[in-house]
A and B are shown apart, each in its own frame.
Chain A
Amino acid sequence: MDFTLRKEHEMARSLFKEFAEKEVKPLAQEVDETENFPRGTVDKMAKNGFLGIPVPKEYGGQGCDPLTYVMCVEELSKVCGTTGVIVSAHTSLCCDPIMTFGTEEQKQKYLVPLAKGEKLGAFGLTEPGAGTDAQGQQTKAVLDGDEYVINGSKIFITNGKEADVYVIFAVTGMVEKRGRMMKEISSFIVEKGTPGFTFGTKEKKMGIRGSSTYELIFTDCRVPKENLLGKIGQGFKIAMHTLDGGRIGIAAQALGIAEGALDRTIAYTKERKQFGKSIAAQQNTQFQLADMATKVQAAQLLVYKAAMAKANQKEYGFEAAQAKLYAAEVAMEVTTKAVQLHGGYGYTREYDVERMMRDAKITEIYEGTSEVQRMVISAALLK
């Protein structure tokens, strides 16, 4: 077993790091303060191929592996959690299901411009009454001639108003499963601008404030029946498969936030003097930093292992759940300690760790809460 990165991964990391430092970091505080979506950065990422990293070249992507994509989200999130999740939601939650379940026509029509970054993607599963419990879905799609008519709403949608292509889920009927009537869920590709598809309120969030989080509203929204993604009734499977991949992206985001907070804290504790010496010379600081760095390293190994599992295994939900659970909790713990080690300054918006602590919290919640990850992990252990 060898933990050495291959040459291409080393080079890719240096690329993402350079891009993040030059193009993303200078805007991170402003993006947080103003809650403005960083469109200019997204355009630059598109130009440089960051929006199609794991997509094959024949579909407009970069033809790289999941580990390269994970490193991109990680390095972006080190300086800006908002930018990290924009790439993660676009790639994992929109490109990936179309790449995995789409027809050749759907791939040509939607995946190619998404992977080239000409279009931005989003994913709509969550509803007011359906978060962790996907069976609570209320959005319905009814076939009428050659079109599905969609009615309902989706909430907390990342890249909400900024996206062009949405993978959404709706109930298409009832089916009997193990003697119980269950909702049959199907998946659809919906384009922005489709009549009947509008946006509700923008969420005012604690963190990742520049990401565009909106409610999607469907009122007699008619989509061509060829926009059904996968087969009818395959929606739940598509959603779960997609979230397995998405969790690796969010784990990478959490990892990046933790690494960013650790880097800043190391630098700060060397500079900050109290009682005539730097606070890095205090054993409490040293022990805190040691714990933070060790946990960050453990999180990185889990995240990279999950990325390799996605590259090499058919099923990777277990690895993805462990990576997301651990990386998210490490992100929260490390950013909280980072604020503490910064003292009063860490509580001000002048210092990045304040934003990072707010950004970290969401990683324990979205794309499956930490509790859901524990359910996934324990279910695999006890099956």
Chain B
Amino acid sequence: MKVVVCIKQVPDTKGGVKFNPDGTLDRAAMMTIMNPDDKAGLEAALRLKDQYGAEVTVLTMGLPKAEDVLREAIAMGADKGVLVTDRVLGGADTWATSQTLAGALRNMEYDLIITGRQAIDGDTAQVGPQISEHLNIPVISYAQKLKIDGDYVIVERQYDDRYHVLKAKMPCLITALAELNEPRYMTPGGIFDACKAEITVWGRADLKDVEDSNLGLKGSPTQIAKASDKVRKGAGEKVNLDPAESVDYIVNKLKEKHVI
């Protein structure tokens, strides 16, 4: 069984978000981490490795320094890392990113592709499903639980107030939620191995069946008008009441605050 996990190096927003004067993210000024949903996806793949001996390859697109996130994944237990990096791929939105990753994936063998639901820097949740469209394979998004049954994968897909159980024949793509699992730590020995591991580096020329018009800034239909940090919410208040009491409670709160 071969699993490819798409991972992204994202700014660590815990220490606050920094912007360039033009409103874009100042990535150089921020620490980076592996995107949390992607890390859960990687952990899911590593559990398939533990259970079924699956071969786990991690794939990322980014600047040359995105190699770090691949090494982190290898230190956690992934077998191989592929970095897609090229100046012409810069400035990609979700469309161009998914085209790029699909172009790389066409060169790779896989039974299962796992991506995170969404990245904490863009919060679009579009790249995973778009990849599946480009590759013409099924997608199950928002996976909160996943198991393998022969050639099939059975996934619990999270919804607001319920979950759906879906079954898909592999090859297919799954987008993982951070709630899927508790990712393992790297191991010290894994880190030493990861630093020696050879990372496969691909550029534009290595992407298969992708038009230039679908890549990089030029291939990105999205126009960013403005980027901003999340407005920090208060701690909030959680109450457990039945529906009727809840309505009364909320109405009273709103009255107290003179909202109504």
Contact = CB atoms under 8 A, between A and B. Distances in A.
Interface of A: 6-8, 11-12, 15, 18-19, 48-50, 53, 57, 61-64, 68, 72
Contacts of B189: 49, 57, 61-64
B188 A12 contact: yes
Q: Which of B75, B185, B186, B195 has the most CB of A within 10 A?
A: B185
Interface of B: 71-72, 75, 184-192, 194-195
A49 B187 contact: yes
Contacts of A62: 187-189, 192
Contacts of A7: 71, 195
Contacts of B185: 15, 18-19, 48
A348 to B, nearest CB: 26
A6 B194 CA distance: 13
19 contacts: A8-B191, A11-B71, A11-B72, A11-B186, A11-B191, A15-B185, A15-B188, A48-B184, A48-B185, A48-B187, A50-B188, A61-B189, A62-B187, A63-B189, A63-B192, A64-B189, A64-B191, A68-B188, A68-B192
B-side interface mostly: helix
Question: Which has the most chain A C-beta neighbours within 10 Å: B71, B185, B188?
Answer: B188
A64 B186 contact: no
Contacts of A57: 189
Nearest to A64: B188
Given A8-B194, A61-B189, 4 more contacts: A8-B192, A11-B72, A15-B186, A49-B189
Contacts of A63: 189, 192
Nearest to B72: A11
Contacts of A64: 188-189, 191-192
B188 A49 contact: yes
B66 to A, nearest CB: 14
A103 to B, nearest CB: 24
Contacts of B184: 48
Contact of B188 (A6, A18, A72): A72
Most buried by B among A11, A19, A61, A68: A11
B14 to A, nearest CB: 11
Contacts of B194: 8, 11
Contacts of A12: 188, 191
Q: Which 9 A-B pairs have the closest CB atoms?
A: A62-B189, A49-B187, A8-B195, A62-B188, A11-B191, A64-B188, A15-B186, A48-B185, A53-B188
A192 B187 CA distance: 28
A149 B187 CA distance: 41
Contacts of A50: 188
Contacts of A48: 184-185, 187
B39 to A, nearest CB: 12
Contacts of B191: 8, 11-12, 15, 64
A282 B147 CA distance: 60
A44 to B, nearest CB: 9
A161 B187 CA distance: 28
Nearest to B31: A14
Contacts of A72: 188
Nearest to A48: B185
A88 B72 CA distance: 26
Nearest to A72: B188
Contacts of B195: 6-8, 11
A100 B192 CA distance: 22
Nearest to B196: A8
Nearest to B189: A62
B256 to A, nearest CB: 32
A251 to B, nearest CB: 19
A79 to B, nearest CB: 16
A75 B57 CA distance: 31
A43 B184 CA distance: 14
A50 B185 CA distance: 11
Nearest to B76: A15
A12 B189 CA distance: 9
Nearest to B184: A48
A50 to B, nearest CB: 7
B32 to A, nearest CB: 11
B247 to A, nearest CB: 38
A49 B187 CA distance: 6
A221 B95 CA distance: 73
Contacts of B190: 49
Nearest to A49: B187
A257 B104 CA distance: 48
A19 B183 CA distance: 12
